Amino acid sequence: MPQFTYTARTARGEDIVGTITAGSRQETLSALAEKALFPLRVEDATPTRAWWRPRRRVKTALVANTLNQLADLLQNGVPLLRSLDVLAAQAAHPQLAEILVDVRDRVAEGAALDAAMAKHPGTFGELTVSMVRAGAEGAFLEDALKRTADFLERQEEIKSRVAGAMFYPAFLAAAGTIVTVALLVFFVPKFSELFARLEQEGGLPAATVILLAISDFLGRYGVLVLMAVGGLVAWLRAAAARPRGRALVDRAKIKLPLVGPIFLGAALSRFCRVLGTLLKNGVPLLKSLQISSESAGNVVLAQAIRASAENISSGERLAQPLAACGLFPRSIMAMITIAEESNNLDEVLINVADGIDRKTSRQLDVMVRMVEPVMLLVMGCLIGFVMVALLLPVFDMSSAMN
């Protein structure tokens, strides 16, 4: 059972510090109240997990199932706190159980459900938090939970399909890289004496000279190169976690060849689906734009949407400022313009999101089919270069002898 340290004030005005074992933070506060103590600070003192035993990540499919179950419980009249208790008790994943208990405790202390979920960004993403916030404010929480769960399941299905299709190309890349590095580090140096004699006699081909230089460099500094690459990756991940770094990464993602349209399409689909859902449930347009911008998953698109909201507040229609940002295709802007004139913007936005999803799915299929032959070609060229560079001096020596 969790332990909590507390600082409390007695009726005489004295501050005391202690530790108490309780099932939750709320139970700790209740226990202090029974002792006529006024809590000043209560903190979780449960021993932290050892660094060699990392927490297991909660899978997206499990989060979607939990949201569906929470929606079902609420629809059947079960109070929110009791629903969270039930879900925490039956959660098979220990990490998810801890998170649900924490969410329940925060809600019991007066926090909103979305604010409590936002404390666990690794499990409840921006989309989930934004949809729950909108559902709670617009009195359609159950529907918001179900729609969020559906979207997460659809997103997980796409990820699983891409991961399955990319397994073979990834295997080819890993195997080819290992074979090439092994040839350069362990196999090529065995010919160094032979190549040294050939170089003294008549020189070596340019490909062989390049191969020997690469092999010597990796043999001397391979470990340092590996450490530098690891440090660079860690630095890039830390930089991408900052607001400015994330904006640069998101801007670069949508401008990449081949995969850039896929990233942009996914962000546009999320925005249109969330905005359409919010408008359909009666949330005002400006509030819907604020929430949907937070759930777009792309900082560049979110900034453009917020700028559009400022223009809309001054009297413009939605289509005009969105078109000015240059991120929305003309076909989508034409549909939004017509939808505003016919007053069915919510339905059109959801249909637009469905269309973008279908297009993105086709683009993913094409990209996956292209990756495999490209990886085969690249790996073949690398290994072929090594073999040709090794054999060229032998062929030259044979020609000279003949």
Residue 51 has pLDDT above 60, yes or no: no
State the sign of the Cα–Cα–Cα–Cα dihedral 389, 391, 392, 397. positive
Q: How far apart are CA 349 and CA 226, in angstroms?
A: 47
Nearest to 353 by CA among 242, 285, 279: 279
Residue 228 is predicted with a pLDDT of 92
Q: Which two tokens stand for residue 339?
A: 């939808």
Q: List, for residues 268-284, the tens digit of each pLDDT value.
A: 888 888 888 888 877 78
> Rounded to 5 degrees, what are φ and ψ at 9?
-115, 135
Which pLDDT band, with edges at 50, 70 and 90, does 30 fall under? confident
39 has which bridge partners?
A: 8
3-state helix, strand, coil in the chain (%, to 5): 75, 5, 20
What is the reported pTM?
0.68
The residue behind tokens 């390049």 is 210
Residue 50 is predicted with a pLDDT of 44
CA-CA distances (angstroms) from residue 328 to 295, 320, 324, 350, 357? 17, 11, 9, 15, 14
Amino acid code (one letter) for 29: L
Instruction: Give me the helix-helix angle, 94-108 and 60-75, nearest 10°.
Output: 40
Q: List, for residues 99-157, the tens digit of each pLDDT value.
A: 888 888 888 878 888 888 888 888 888 778 888 888 887 778 888 889 888 888 887 88
Q: How far apart are CA 118 and CA 307, in angstroms?
A: 24
Q: List, for residues 172-191, the tens digit of each pLDDT value.
A: 888 888 888 888 888 888 87
Q: How far apart are CA 244 and CA 241, in angstroms?
A: 9
Average pLDDT of every residue of the chain: 80
- Give the mean pLDDT of 316-334: 77
Q: How far apart are CA 96 and CA 59, in angstroms?
A: 10
> Rounded to 5 degrees, what are φ and ψ at 17?
-120, 140
390 has which bridge partners?
A: none
Residue 53 is predicted with a pLDDT of 44
Q: How far apart are CA 224 and CA 396, in angstroms?
A: 36
Residue 272 is predicted with a pLDDT of 85
Residue 204 has pLDDT above 50, yes or no: yes
Give residues with Cβ within 8 angstroms of 102, minimum separation 6.
Answer: 116, 119, 120
Q: How far apart are CA 103 and CA 284, in angstroms?
A: 28
Q: How far apart are CA 135 and CA 277, in angstroms?
A: 10
CA-CA distances (angstroms) from residue 53 to 48, 56, 120, 255, 343? 10, 9, 19, 39, 55
> Rounded to 5 degrees, what are φ and ψ at 328?
-95, 130
Residue 316 is predicted with a pLDDT of 65
- Give the mean pLDDT of 197-214: 79
Give residues with Cβ within 8 angstroms of 289, minimum separation 6.
Answer: 275, 305, 306, 308, 309, 312
Q: How far apart are CA 358 and CA 377, in angstroms?
A: 30
Which pLDDT band, with edges at 50, 70 and 90, does 398 fall under? low
For residues 120 and 110, the answer to whether their CB atoms sit within 8 Å is no
Residue 401 is predicted with a pLDDT of 62
Q: List, for residues 282-316, the tens digit of each pLDDT value.
A: 778 888 887 777 777 788 888 888 877 777 766 66
Amino acid code (one letter) for 82: R
Q: List, for residues 215-254, the tens digit of each pLDDT value.
A: 888 888 888 988 999 999 898 888 877 878 888 888 888 8
Q: How far apart are CA 388 and CA 402, in angstroms?
A: 21
